[in-house]
Amino acid sequence: SQELEQSPQSLIVQEGKNLTINCTSSKTLYGLYWYKQKYGEGLIFLMMLQKGGEEKSHEKITAKLDEKKQQSSLHITASQPSHAGIYLCGAPSRTAGNKLTFGGGTRVLVKP
């Protein structure tokens, strides 16, 4: 079965600084989804990457998919307190498209 490993597991960043989260898959990626979870709440969809080399941005968050490395990265520029939360990556299986596997999550704390 596919496994997704996220790094780091947690990080503390000073407000205004940049941060990067990585998501590495044990198998070929056929799409990658990023979600954010505020503490004690449900997940909110951030963005979806479907093709190798694809890069998407929304406000100050940029995600890239490196198909060859079986990896995706999420980069936040000039972090703000609103960026605090848990970021999770998810990927579908080639053989079981109705199932999404999630990584363990990266906990982000932004210090003012």
Site of interaction with another protein (CB under 8 A): 1, 4, 6, 9, 31, 33, 35, 40-45, 48, 88, 90, 92, 97-105
Least Cβ distance, residue 17 to another protein (angstroms)? 25
Interstrand relation of 10-14 and 32-37 (parallel, antiparallel or unpaired)? unpaired
CB 101 within 8 Å of CB 2: yes
Least Cβ distance, residue 78 to another protein (angstroms)? 26
Sheet holding 19-25, edge to edge: 4-7, 19-25, 71-76, 61-66, 55-58
**Based on CB atoms, which residue is closest to another protein, 52 or 104?**
104
Least Cβ distance, residue 79 to another protein (angstroms)? 22
